Amino acid sequence: MIVIQQHTPEEIRAIYQEGEEAVLKLVIELQTVLSTLAARLQALEDQQAKNSRSSSKPPGSDGLKKPRRRSLR
């Protein structure tokens, strides 16, 4: 589980007043969290996109939605 600390405007101003190093530390921390969340989102989207035609899943796991048939023309 990723814990994201919510900073109040006052806390952000205090970090800014501490100087460049404090701001840099906060930005790096936020980039790390964003990168982790982006990777988790991509994994979930990849998992959701799988069906019996695009993986080794059995056809019964595709759900009740019927696959679209392509026109033979």
The answer as to whether 67 is a domain residue is no
The answer as to whether 60 is a domain residue is no
The answer as to whether 36 is a domain residue is yes
The answer as to whether 11 is a domain residue is yes
The answer as to whether 30 is a domain residue is yes
Spell out the long-range contacts of 30-39 with Cβ–Cβ below 8 A and sequence spacing 24 or more.
33/2, 33/4, 36/2, 37/2
Q: 């994994």: which residue's tokens?
A: 43
By the 8 A CB rule, do 15 and 26 touch?
yes
Please tell me the distance from the alpha carbon of residue 36 to that of residue 33, in angstroms, as a whole number. 5
Q: What pLDDT does residue 49 have?
A: 80
Q: pLDDT tens, position by position, for the chain (73 residues)?
A: 777 889 999 999 999 999 999 999 999 999 999 999 999 999 999 888 877 677 777 776 766 666 677 777 7
Domain that holds residue 22: 1-46
The answer as to whether 57 is a domain residue is no
pTM given for the model: 0.64
The answer as to whether 59 is a domain residue is no
By the 8 A CB rule, do 57 and 50 touch?
yes
Q: How many domains does the chain have?
A: 1
